[in-house]
Amino acid sequence: MGERFVTAWKSGERQDPVAVLTFASPAQLFSVISPKRWALIEALQKIGPSSIRAVARALDRDIKRVHEDVTALMEWGLVEKDESGKVHVPYDEIEADFTLKAAA
């Protein structure tokens, strides 16, 4: 985010907005973005807007479980539906950054 600020400051041009998700704990992060959900996000970034059925086929997963994962990711804004009902990831890039500290 700092880089975007500096670029906007120096150029005077508006930069694309950045979405920031904050999790209360690593446990919450990993409950929202499990390995299977991360694979789902990666697949959608690769194939673009798709039906849930097509994503389930691409991942070789049960459609019901993929639907549950898509629903959870939509609640966090990581996946969206377009006008035709296809799901997609609205970001070209997702950066994960966290700090682990020793307990005080």
On the question of pLDDT at 4 being above 60, the answer is no
Q: In this predicted model, which residue has the larger pLDDT, 80 or 24?
A: 80
Residue pLDDT, tens place only, 66-98: 999 999 999 999 999 999 999 999 988 887 777
DSSP line for 39-55: HHHHHHHHH-SB-HHHH
CB 3 within 8 A of CB 9: no
- Residue environment code for 37-69, b if the CB has 16+ CB neighbours within 10 A, otherwise e: beebbebbeeeeebebebbbebbebeeeebeeb
Q: What CATH code would you report for 26-92?
A: 1.10.10.10
Domain boundaries, the chain: 26-92
Block residue for tokens 């039906």:
51
Q: In this predicted model, which residue has the larger pLDDT, 5 or 37?
A: 37
